[in-house]
Structure 1
């Protein structure tokens, strides 16, 4: 057929690989089961607003090489991620910082805030955190844990915080400054005109053919026979017919509305941290690009349990699942003509810059 590579999935990992392969003169076929390219970073224009179809995506990195790489494909604005938390109508700044501590406790100095957290940590008798609940209390005390962590996290993961591994919350930013910037990364922004254009440009080479609404598993054996090499970005356990059992994922459901108001919530992302509200956050898309359109588009994000056939969004990287993944990883290493990549192929939570970095590492190894 003349192709050098079949790429399964047109998300960031597959598209970076396709772009780099075509630059080196390789012929590539990209297939995707969805009816559009760009995977979960897909954006589409609604009411002249770029809507993040699969949840909020904010690009951030400390790696200048990755930042320069992605800026080849789009101009980025100066958007700074500063989400807020709504707890039963009370509004708090995220990440947890001096603005949060001041509103909650009336403290003004970092020393006062640290003393308050230490006092609550001692009262909770947390010495060596063994689970997410204990880890969170050790970082921010019981008040913030109860109002801003517990309900949100248990909705997100569908488990009690005391049953979740501590490492999930270790990336939780806690700042003793009056700074609402969620990320400390040097480079941050949103592509002006949305993310889809990035993948369109990556896949624009005449050496790349794209086939949408195409399920790899309908013709899996033929694909593996016909193509010299396959880059697979789907679920690794599905590739091996779940022979060791099913890895666990969390899914999401999105409810999007066009509203006849100019400004619905005053911020791009508002997290709902109480247990009673069924969604975890509301995204108002226009604020990612400082929009002034007369209408607005909002999306409510509902975490959901996952079963086969549902869209998998987050790997459940607890001990049991990580051990099961190792078995699949060992199987993958015995299939030399298949490269497994991306969040599902590597069963790992990746931010966008990490996906690009992982893809470029594979490219370097493949074309050295």
Structure 2
């Protein structure tokens, strides 16, 4: 009999297990995949730590979260400065003075601000009814068409005029020559990849891979006093109210016989006609000097049951459906739901760390 059965060996489950074991509790961790780490799993290829499920850049302004994750790895000084490719031209992201100078030739923040305001005023939409209207009302037509429209439509699988305005409540406009994507105090990549972090967190736990908890529930549930479930909440209840929606991603990874393919870790492709949203060149996360390089193209895909769920579609319809599942979850005895799938919530890594720590501490204090 274990104190906790933890379903999912991703970041949330691993943190909960680590905290529980520090408190003297025993943990059985079951993972459906053939590896630990969930979506932050990294694998070494050609001496390069490859992010198998897309780029993961750790950033936070929460010192407690930064100090906590720093126990398990040394983080480098990597700063996320993506660039966007559109019709043969490269633009800096997020929108900053380098971007505005490239598009309009403006030099000063006053000139850039005036240009945006001029285009917003010319568009003249007071109450945006869709994403396109919302975006142009915030940043004007030029920036929208070059850097927002195609990328967003690929990401969501729908035209911008069919998407609700809430998806882009605000677009960051930075009137400085600053290419740093994040505003957080702390940022970096773990030297040697993310998998080592999860390995250290799970030291002392019994880990079983290639085990689908929901299929083995009858045999597994009696082995633990309580369950921490980080899988899809609708799957736990056998989709009794219907399926929650997600967007998913297909990765096409290639080893190239060159030491530098694109000169940056992240290049977004904002043209709708280019089928992938971005190319990741993994070696640049750790300033690699290997003779070869590894790139991954990311293709957004409409999710269907059986696919890997990535991004919850947090619109009104799915929010109402999740609320019904949450009612059921709250009534479950001796089971805690957590993580982006268990809570049906998009979460960056720092959010996951914070949520897992809070949940573990509350549970263990109780």
- The aligned runs of 1:230-249 (5 Å cut-off) are 230-249=227-246
Q: Do structure 1's residue 290 and structure 2's residue 262 form an aligned pair?
A: no
Aligned residues: 365
Gaps of 5+ in 2: none
Answer with 129-138 or 287-296: which moved more.
Answer: 129-138
Shift of 1:171: 5.8
Structure 2 residue matching 1:219: 3-state secondary structure: helix
TM-score, normalised to structure 1's length?
0.97
Contact 1:38–1:199 (CA under 8 A) maintained in structure 2: yes
1:312 to 305, 309, 313: 309
| Whole-angstrom CA distance in 2 between matches of 1:68 and 1:366 | 22
Shift of 1:162: 2.3
Shift of 1:134: 2.2
Match of 1:169 in 2: 168
Match of 2:130 in 1: 131
Contact 1:42–1:196 (CA under 8 A) maintained in structure 2: yes
Shift of 1:124: 1.5
Answer with 214-223 or 26-35: which moved more.
Answer: 214-223
TM-score, normalised to structure 2's length?
0.98
Match of 2:327 in 1: 330
1:68–1:171 CA distance, 2 compared to 1 (3 A)? farther
Where in structure 1 do 4 or more consecutive aligned residues deviate above 6 Å?
none
| Whole-angstrom CA distance in 1 between matches of 2:358 and 2:133 | 36
Shift of 1:76: 0.2
Shift of 1:220: 1.8
1:141–1:12 CA distance, 2 compared to 1 (3 A)? same
- The aligned runs of 1:1-368 (5 Å cut-off) are 2-170=1-169, 172-205=171-204, 208-368=205-365
| Whole-angstrom CA distance in 2 between matches of 1:200 and 1:302 | 29
Contact 2:2–2:28 (CA under 8 A) maintained in structure 1: yes
1:92-115: CA deviation from partner (whole Å, max 9, x where unpaired): 000000000000011111111111
Contact 1:139–1:174 (CA under 8 A) maintained in structure 2: no
Gaps of 5+ in 1: none
Structure 2 residue matching 1:238: 3-state secondary structure: helix
Contact 1:237–1:328 (CA under 8 A) maintained in structure 2: yes
